[in-house]
A = this chain, B = another copy of it.
């Protein structure tokens, strides 16, 4: 049996999704091998995360100010809103460097089975933004799953009152992926949404 302080840290690592017993043990013992100053860095950076990371009051992105650097950037087009499930998704698309609009984090997807209903998401906030900023286009970039599709359908319905163009990012076979590893639903969708060439 490990000493208590070791067991406690193993249990902490297991709070992180996808981290099981083995990984948590490995990370804890790795940490035990770090020099004290690196352990201190860990303590300080986690403390910083707790104290300094907030959600952008406009879009829900993670930031250290009240407004994130995308929303506060005057050169970004506020008339196009890219809707994502969680803040991390913003960075995936920002890395592409091809989008110049702004974002909106829903903070989840509709999933009645998990008790997540429309009112639990930042949908009213999205409607407010569309109204106040005269938004012209909404791009939905939600996971192509039952929850993602349900949320997109819901948004489509609820946003039909507004004079706004709504699109969603394409589903299909990812580049370089062997067909045999793709699930049948994706293949079906890829066939349905085939494009003339």
A179 to B4 Cα, complex, angstroms: 40
A185 to chain B: which residues have CB within 8 Å?
none
A160 touches B (CB below 8 Å): no
Contact of A50 among B12, B25, B43 (CB under 8 A): B43
Docked-complex contact A29 and B64, CB < 8 angstroms: no
CB-CB nearest in chain B for A16: B30
Contact of A62 among B6, B8, B50, B86 (CB under 8 A): B6
With contacts A6-B62, A27-B16, A62-B3 taken as known, whether A39 is within 8 angstroms of B49 at the C-beta atoms is yes
A41 touches B (CB below 8 Å): yes
A16 to chain B: which residues have CB within 8 Å?
27, 30-31, 34
Interface size on A, residues (CB 8 A): 47
A1-45 CB mask vs B (1 if < 8 Å, else 0) is 111111011011001111100000111111110101011111101
A88 to B27 Cα, complex, angstroms: 12
Docked-complex contact A50 and B64, CB < 8 angstroms: no
A181 touches B (CB below 8 Å): no
Docked-complex contact A26 and B18, CB < 8 angstroms: yes
Q: How many copies does the complex hold?
A: 2
Docked-complex contact A88 and B29, CB < 8 angstroms: yes
Docked-complex contact A31 and B49, CB < 8 angstroms: yes
A191 touches B (CB below 8 Å): no
Docked-complex contact B42 and A12, CB < 8 angstroms: yes
A55 to B26 Cα, complex, angstroms: 18
A39 to chain B: which residues have CB within 8 Å?
46, 49-50
- The 17 sampled A-B contact pairs (Cβ below 8 Å) are A2-B62, A2-B91, A3-B63, A5-B48, A9-B45, A9-B48, A12-B45, A15-B30, A16-B27, A17-B30, A28-B49, A29-B88, A31-B49, A32-B87, A39-B46, A40-B50, A43-B47
The 6 A-B residue pairs whose C-beta atoms are closest, nearest first, are A5-B48, A16-B30, A9-B45, A8-B45, A39-B50, A29-B88
